[in-house]
Structure 1
């Protein structure tokens, strides 16, 4: 019931996850990223513990493929799970269990991996990867372009209702964590609209956390 992308920007070192589903609040259960380590999507009859586990393994020195192999050996009911990972070197790996739902498939390249289940067709993940590789700009812009490409290729077999966009950079928290937990319109477009609003403010929010004395004004009464 989900399609997603995990990616690394080799120029900035940022990692990101974008995801969409017919289920509510998909990003709350399925999106994981850690600065300097990598990004993971854990989906299809989701076990949310697999995202942090994969990140822990990569932080401990394993490559994406070795981490996914470890998850395959340790995860419970792994035959029902899909797990996608990209590591600090841009290496990617995917596990898709044989009990993944409906039409399921995956695609990957350096710095990017995509997978999905209950898809409209088996070309959606490759369209997402191709969309990402053809795009330019901020990692968030590229992830949104990739998800739009996935939708244009057919997306999920039914309507999608939730989506999320998460990006980590040099600090310990996500610098972008945008979610649409439910809509009857397109949740990917809802995320794109949120990103258009948030993008010009991103650096200011990071600066306020690091040193509010040097931050831009807050734009509230009494602020000078």
Structure 2
């Protein structure tokens, strides 16, 4: 019911997850990232607890492969889970249990891994990885490109209704967390892409406002001087 990509930007050190699903609020349950540590996705028949579990393992120094393996052995039902991780060195790992739904597959590339279930066909994750690797710009642009490539390849076997983009940078809070939790009509990936287009030029300003409001630029709203 989901396709996603986890990734690291070797230039900025940012980590991120981009994800979409036919289920509601997919990013709220499935997308996880921590600054300086890595990014993970826990999907299919989702156990959200595995998101924080894998991040803790990465923070303790485990590789992406070891963190995914630890999660697989920690969980009581690994055959139902699909797990993706990328670590601070750009290494990635994937687990897909044999009870994943529908057509399920995955692909890995430089600083990224993509996977999905109930897919239109088994080439969707590879298309996501290719789009991420060949696109340029900030991490958010590249993650959106991967989501858009998945949609262009057919995405899920049925209609998608939710999508999300999560990026962490240097702080303990997300650099960007943009979500479409449900759309009856229209494409949630297109909606998240538009939200990122609006948010991207302001993202650094919101960090400045948090760390040093006296140096923050104007909000550009009525009454702001």
**Aligned residue for 1:212?**
213
**Aligned residue for 1:90?**
90
* Segments of 4+ moved more than 3 angstroms: none
**Aligned residue for 1:30?**
30
**Aligned residue for 2:19?**
19
C-alpha distance in structure 1 between counterparts of 2:68 and 2:166, whole Å:
21
Instruction: Indicate if the aligned counterparts of 2:53 and 2:71 stay in contact, CA closer than 8 A.
Output: yes
Instruction: Indicate if the aligned counterparts of 2:110 and 2:133 stay in contact, CA closer than 8 A.
Output: no
**Aligned residue for 2:199?**
198
SS in structure 2 at match of 1:174: coil
C-alpha distance in structure 1 between counterparts of 2:223 and 2:68, whole Å:
52
C-alpha distance in structure 2 between counterparts of 1:76 and 1:19, whole Å:
25
SS in structure 1 at match of 2:175: strand
SS in structure 2 at match of 1:72: helix
Deviations 1:168-207 (A, max 9, x none): 0011110100000111211000001101111111111000
What is the root-mean-square deviation of aligned Cα atoms in Å?
A: 0.8
SS in structure 2 at match of 1:3: strand
C-alpha distance in structure 2 between counterparts of 1:112 and 1:10, whole Å:
11
Once the two structures are TM-superposed, the CA of residue 219 in structure 1 deviates from its matched residue by: 2.5
Provide the aligned length of Structure 1 versus Structure 2. Answer: 224
Unaligned runs of 5+ in 2: none
C-alpha distance in structure 2 between counterparts of 1:76 and 1:168, whole Å:
29
Once the two structures are TM-superposed, the CA of residue 221 in structure 1 deviates from its matched residue by: 3.9
TM-score for the superposition, normalised by structure 1: 0.98
C-alpha distance in structure 2 between counterparts of 1:25 and 1:51, whole Å:
15
Once the two structures are TM-superposed, the CA of residue 42 in structure 1 deviates from its matched residue by: 0.5
Deviations 1:2-57 (A, max 9, x none): 00000000000000000000001100100000000000011001100000000000
C-alpha distance in structure 1 between counterparts of 2:112 and 2:100, whole Å:
21
Pairing of 1:107-146 with structure 2 (within 5 A)? 107-146=107-146
2:58 aligned with 1:58: yes
Once the two structures are TM-superposed, the CA of residue 152 in structure 1 deviates from its matched residue by: 1.1
SS in structure 1 at match of 2:163: strand
Once the two structures are TM-superposed, the CA of residue 217 in structure 1 deviates from its matched residue by: 1.4
Instruction: Indicate if the aligned counterparts of 2:163 and 2:181 stay in contact, CA closer than 8 A.
Output: yes
